[in-house]
Amino acid sequence: MSVKVDAMGKQCPIPVVLAKKALEGMTVPGTLEVLVDNEVAVQNLSKLAASCNLPVHAEKTAEGQFTVTMEVSAPVQPAGETVCAPDAREDLVVAVGSNRMGDGDEALGKTLMKGFLYAVSQLPTLPKTMLFYNTGAYLTCAGSDSLEDLKFMEAQGVEIRTCGTCLDYYKRKETLAVGSVTNMYAIVETLAAAGKVIKP
């Protein structure tokens, strides 16, 4: 069973209310797909899915268009009142300068980086911006093991920016799969203005 809810143009709490009603009406396994037009709605729908223990996937499909998909394996009854939280991003920048974490074994470093990016996507308060440069640029391109996590964060309003010089150097510009291209001046400005910076 696949249920689609069009909540485009609807302000909170309407997308969450519509999703709760749709979930309550799902008596067999299937997917619930909710279309919304803002990042805060994506965040609140993702919280609804988490409160129901449902796997959720969110993706920015176009400018001002997002799809939130919940996998429903058994009937659920969303509990509690509908709460719309404000934007769940803080003045935090994550700067990723490599496609691996640490200096040891390469395979272990890549596994650690994948785990790190997943962990960032699960933070209760997401970063405002994520910057990718040097070999970190590989992580935002086609074939990256972290694309799903990065697209999930982008759909919730996290700015994903990748160094254009790095994409050119590694011949990856045509394969950029999430976020936008930036330059070193903008990277420095973003880092200088950040309240906090995390560099894995």
Per-residue pLDDT, 76: 86
The C-alpha atoms of residue 22 and residue 35 are separated, in whole angstroms, by 13
Q: Which of the two residues, 78 and 166, has the higher pLDDT score?
A: 166
Predicted confidence (pLDDT) per residue in 122-149, tens digit: 888 899 999 999 999 999 999 999 999 9
Per-residue pLDDT, 149: 95
CB 107 within 8 A of CB 139: no
In CATH terms, the superfamily for domain 2-72 is: TusA-like domain (3.30.110.40)
Q: Tell me how far apart the terminal alpha carbons of the chain are, to the nearest angstrom.
A: 41
Confidence of residue 43 (pLDDT cuts 50, 70, 90): confident
pLDDT surpasses 80 at 87 = no
User: Helix H segments across the chain?
Assistant: 14-25, 39-51, 106-121, 147-155, 164-169, 184-193
Q: What pTM did the predictor assign? A: 0.69
User: What are the residue ranges spanned by the domains of the chain?
Assistant: 2-72, 89-198
Confidence of residue 47 (pLDDT cuts 50, 70, 90): confident
The C-alpha atoms of residue 167 and residue 26 are separated, in whole angstroms, by 44
Q: Which of the two residues, 82 and 142, has the higher pLDDT score?
A: 142
CB 196 within 8 A of CB 92: yes
CB 103 within 8 A of CB 96: no
Report domain 89-198's class. alpha beta
pLDDT surpasses 70 at 160 = yes
Give φ, ψ of 80 to 5 degrees.
80, 175
